[in-house]
Amino acid sequence: MTVSIEDVAARAGVSTATVSRALRGLPNVSELTRERVRDAARALDYVVSPSASSLATGRTSTVGVVVPYVGRWFFGQVISGAETALRQSGFDLLLYTVGAEESRRRFFEELPVRRRVDAVLVLSLPLTDAEVAAIAGLRLPTAMVGASVPGFSSVRIDDVGGASKAVNHLINLGHQRIAMIHGAGIEPAQFTAPEDRRRGYLSALASAGLDYDSSLQVDGGFTLAGGERAMASLLSSKHPPTAVFAQSDEMAFGALRAIRRAGLRCPEDVSVVGFDDHEMAEMLDLTTVAQPVTEQGVLAVGHILAELRGEAAPSDDLVPTHVVIRGTTAPPTAKPMRARVPARSVARSAGSSSAG
């Protein structure tokens, strides 16, 4: 029924060891023999049994990918990148979605990856200490995307740089009162994005010599509804901003809605820039900070493969971001909505401020 290595060996007139060597491209096999073996294998439609091979080598040629949720553009892209890179190196991808509380608990409790994978990839999942300990206990090469944990390789975006690029874009347009809708530190400690993006925001303001006004920082909780509320409160303040930097596109979407509902227009009355380049950002014509996504999966895989080969110790990657300029940002207008006299006549130059 199933053709085994013995069948191939018999047909090629060699031993099974030779077949194994020949098919895996090991040296010390004459080209003639290798051809013979290949022909036999092809003729018999032979496929190596991964279980047998794993059992013999102790390797599984499989990487476990742990992800909170699959159906979001971002994760999909990262997974695609990872899969391509893995497949290229002959690895399979075992998927674990642990978004639901229950499944997450079970995953870290039972660790179903044990004995099943050679390495682990954790995507955008800030881990608790106990969870980190569980993963560490596996003693497998592990890489994380979107979070950094000592001892594991990691791939993250440059949140600080991205945020300051976004804010610089607004500054270059001539804005001076620039608010920020942030997501407060609701998540575990490793989720450094809110803090990093805040730092980027502050440093951009500082290096432009702009005042820092704490009343211009509002919490949007990283949700659309939160962003809407935050924007509404900003608009109703006595001295509203002319531009807003939202720490996520979702919050920016909410902000757009709030602006519309307040009877104002974007970008004529208020400019908005988001962060993420969410799938819908293009559709809603949102200026935002984009990150290379697929690449992060590829990089993470690079890390674990290197570790697997014993070539490298855990290391961190910080990937750059760039501002995608769309229709929600424009120079401030000298409208009565603003109480202060705007400093005008800064060249529009949308393209020039694009950070590559």
List residues binding its own copies (CB under 8 A). 2, 47-52, 54-55, 60, 62, 65, 69-77, 79-80, 83-84, 87, 92-97, 99-100, 103, 112, 114-116, 224, 253, 265, 267-268, 279-280, 282-283, 285, 325-327, 329-330, 344, 347-352, 354
Residue 181's binding partner among its own copies, DNA, none (Cβ under 5 to 8 angstroms by kind) is none
Min CB(304)–its own copies separation in Å: 17
When CB distances are held under 5 to 8 angstroms depending on the partner's kind, the choice from DNA, its own copies, none that residue 79 binds is its own copies
In the complex, minimum distance from the CB of residue 352 to DNA, in angstroms, rounded to a whole number: 55
Q: How far is the CB of 27 from DNA (least distance, A)?
A: 6
Give the nearer residue to its own copies in terms of CB position, either 13 or 112.
112
Q: With b meaning 16 or more CB within 10 Å and e meaning fewer, what string describes 249-270?
A: bbbbbbbbbbbeebebebbebb
- The answer to whether the Cα torsion of 12, 17, 20, 26 is positive or negative is negative
Nearest to 40 by CA among 11, 6, 2: 11
Choose among DNA, its own copies, none what residue 17 binds, the Cβ cut-off being 5 to 8 Å by kind.
DNA
CA gap 325, 270 in Å, rounded = 15
89 near DNA, judged by CB under 7 A: no
Which does residue 92 bind out of DNA, its own copies, none, counting CB within 5 to 8 angstroms by kind?
Answer: its own copies
Q: Find the binding residues for DNA in span 2-41 (CB under 7 A).
A: 2, 4-6, 13-18, 20-21, 23-24, 27-30, 32-34
Spell out where the chain has E strands.
62-67, 92-97, 119-123, 142-145, 153-157, 178-182, 217-219, 243-246, 271-276, 287-290, 316-319, 322-324
Among 39, 42, 52, 212, binds DNA (CB under 7 A): 52
The distance of Cα 142 from the centroid of its chain, to the nearest Å, equals 16
Q: What SS3 state is found at 172?
A: helix
Prior bond of 332 cis (ω within 30°): no
**Shortest distance (Å) from residue 118 CB to its own copies:** 12
Distance CA 269, CA 276 (A): 23
Interaction partner, residue 77 (its own copies, DNA, none; CB < 5-8 Å by kind)? its own copies
For residue 14, the partner it binds in its own copies, DNA, none, with Cβ less than 5 to 8 A by kind, is DNA
Q: Provide, rounded to whole angstroms, the least separation between the CB of residue 57 and DNA.
A: 4
Q: CA 181 to CA 259: how far, in whole Å? A: 14
Residue 4 interface partner, choices its own copies, DNA, none, CB cut-off 5-8 Å depending on type? DNA
Question: Which of 10, 38, 53, 111 lies at the binding interface for DNA (CB under 7 A)?
Answer: 53
DSSP tag of 135: H
CB of 82 to DNA, least distance (A): 24
Report residue 93 as tokens. 């991808």
Long-range contacts of 50-53 (CB under 8 A, 24+ apart): none
Q: Which listed residue (56, 100, 130, 343) binds DNA by CB under 7 A?
A: 56
Closest contact distance (angstroms) between CB of 195 and its own copies is 27
| 43 near DNA, judged by CB under 7 A | no
One-letter amino acid for residue 282 of the chain? E
- What is residue 39's DSSP assignment? H
Q: Which does 23 bind (CB under 5 to 8 A by kind): DNA, its own copies, none?
A: DNA
Could you give the C-alpha distances from 216 to 121, 202, 213, 225, 285, in angstroms and in order? 38, 12, 6, 18, 24
Question: Tokens standing for 83?
Answer: 């899969």
Which positions touch DNA (CB under 7 A)?
Answer: 2, 4-6, 13-18, 20-21, 23-24, 27-30, 32-34, 46-49, 52-53, 55-58
